[in-house]
Amino acid sequence: MDVNHLTDKQPMYDIAIIGGGVTGLAAAMYAGRMKLNTVLIGYPPGGVIATTDWIENYPGFISLSGKELADKILAHAKEYEVDMVFDEATEITRDGRCFTVNTAFDEYRAKTVLFATGTRYRKLPVPGADTFEGKGVQFCGLCDGPMFQDKAVAVVGGGDSAAKEALILAQWARQIYVVIRGDQLKAEPVNLERVKKTEKITLVFNTNVTSIEGNPGIEKIVLDQPFEGKKELAVKGVFIAIGSLPLSQLAVRLGVKTNEKGEILINRQTETNIPGVFAAGDVTDTQFKQAITGVAEGVTAAYQAYRYLGGEFVCTCVDDDYLDCPAAPEDLRGRTE
């Protein structure tokens, strides 16, 4: 595990990147390339994407696992002088134009902060979900699927994540019910086709789970609509894939503005309402949340931090007539609290 060797004398970093997922790692790589004195603070390394079995929409890689992708970007970032602290940031405060980031054990000072904190899984708000969490109510098919060998399980959710979770579980489970609130499975077409071809996956439309029951382990889920004449499905596990919640609490406490969903508001330059504070990836209010868009935002944020700090970035294109690399950051400093 990469935790840098810290001394009592801490440096003033140019940028503190909060988040260890692909967005933060890509930002760290770019910040390192631009010679910014960079610290990345995040846990777990690789972020949530590491629990994805396969990724087929990241340009340049026809198919690879989420962990492979994260490991590749991590290895790339390590090619530059970047301090990496795989721990959770517990508090971030502002002192004039600078920021202090605390973890459970240490403190880091930086001139700019980039929130790449991502999201966490949304929990199912029904009786039994809390009681059985970790005891049959799970969030990672890849991590826990083998424990349900030859058993019936349910996946709750109607998006691409639910489709992929069902396909992962099909490697082990005997029967997978996908319980969908709406009237369709809104998955990527390629995954939808795979689901349709997998006989052991059954789609249950227009239905909500109202409770998860059993003693001592899960025995069934109760539905608000009958399915094949019954309002119960006998399952041993329930995998939740109903979306995610932005991890923006630290940013909010710092005064960063968010929308009604708790997503950090950014402009196209990834600036927030606070000068020197940037945000990128799934934690922001961008609509299309993908690894590739997060990575793109992360590197944009690293560049904007560089400009904010007054760096003189020399683009290879600077002498070309058709593309200019503006050096003046004033137009990007316009946003204030």
**Is residue 147 within 8 Å of 173, Cβ to Cβ?**
no
Residue 144 falls in the annotated catalytic set: yes
Catalytic one of 143, 315, 317, 325 = 143
What x-and-dash track marks residues 145-184 binding another protein by CB under 8 A? xxx-------------------------------------
- Pair type for strands 98-102 and 230-234: unpaired
Choose the stretch contacting another protein; rule: CB under 8 A; options: 101-109, 176-184, 257-265, 267-275: 101-109
Of these, 57, 90, 131, 267, which contacts another protein (CB under 8 A)? Answer: 90
Packed helices 22-33 and 291-308: angle between N→C axes, nearest 10 degrees? 40
Nearest to 20 by CA among 106, 103, 117: 117
**Is residue 270 within 8 Å of 295, Cβ to Cβ?**
no
Please identify, using beta-carbon distances, which residue of 93 and 184 lies nearer to another protein. Answer: 93
Of these, 16, 25, 48, 116, which contacts another protein (CB under 8 A)? Answer: 48
Catalytic one of 71, 87, 140, 160 = 140
User: In the block, which residue shows the tokens 């054990």?
Assistant: 105
Q: How far is the CB of 177 from another protein (least distance, A)?
A: 18
Please identify, using beta-carbon distances, which residue of 8 and 95 lies nearer to another protein. Answer: 8
Of these, 14, 144, 263, 282, which contacts another protein (CB under 8 A)? Answer: 144
Site for another protein, residues 232 to 271, rule: CB under 8 A: 237
Residue 98 falls in the annotated catalytic set: no
What x-and-dash track marks residues 178-217 binding another protein by CB under 8 A? ---------------------------------------x
Please identify, using beta-carbon distances, which residue of 144 and 297 lies nearer to another protein. Answer: 144
Q: How far is the CB of 231 from another protein (least distance, A)?
A: 25
| Integer angstrom CA distances of residue 306 from 34, 137, 250, 272 | 7, 44, 23, 15
Nearest to 284 by CA among 122, 119, 120: 119
What x-and-dash track marks residues 50-89 binding another protein by CB under 8 A? xx-------------xxx-----------------x-xx-
Please identify, using beta-carbon distances, which residue of 145 and 294 lies nearer to another protein. Answer: 145
# chain residues binding another protein, by CB under 8 A: 43
d(CA 332, CA 320): 23
Of these, 129, 133, 285, 309, which contacts another protein (CB under 8 A)? Answer: 133
> What is the DSSP secondary-structure string of 27-54?
HHHHHHHTT--EEEE-SSTB-GGGG-S-
Establish if 313 lies at the interface with another protein (CB under 8 A).
Answer: no
Of these, 21, 24, 32, 45, which contacts another protein (CB under 8 A)? Answer: 45
d(CA 295, CA 305): 15
Catalytic one of 14, 83, 144, 282 = 144
DSSP 3-state percent helix, strand, coil across the chain (nearest 5) = 25, 30, 45
**Is residue 210 within 8 Å of 184, Cβ to Cβ?**
no
Find the angle CA(302)-CA(305)-CA(308) to the nearest 5 degrees: 155
Instruction: State the CB neighbour count (10 A cutoff) for residue 135.
Output: 12
What is the identity of the amino acid at 167? L
Q: How far is the CB of 335 from another protein (least distance, A)?
A: 32
Q: Which helix (H) or strand (E) holds 112?
A: strand 107-115
Residue 143 falls in the annotated catalytic set: yes
Residues near another protein (CB under 8 A)? 1-8, 43-46, 48, 50-51, 65-67, 85, 87-88, 90, 103-106, 120-121, 133-136, 138-140, 142-147, 217, 237
Tell me which residues are annotated as active site: 140, 143-144
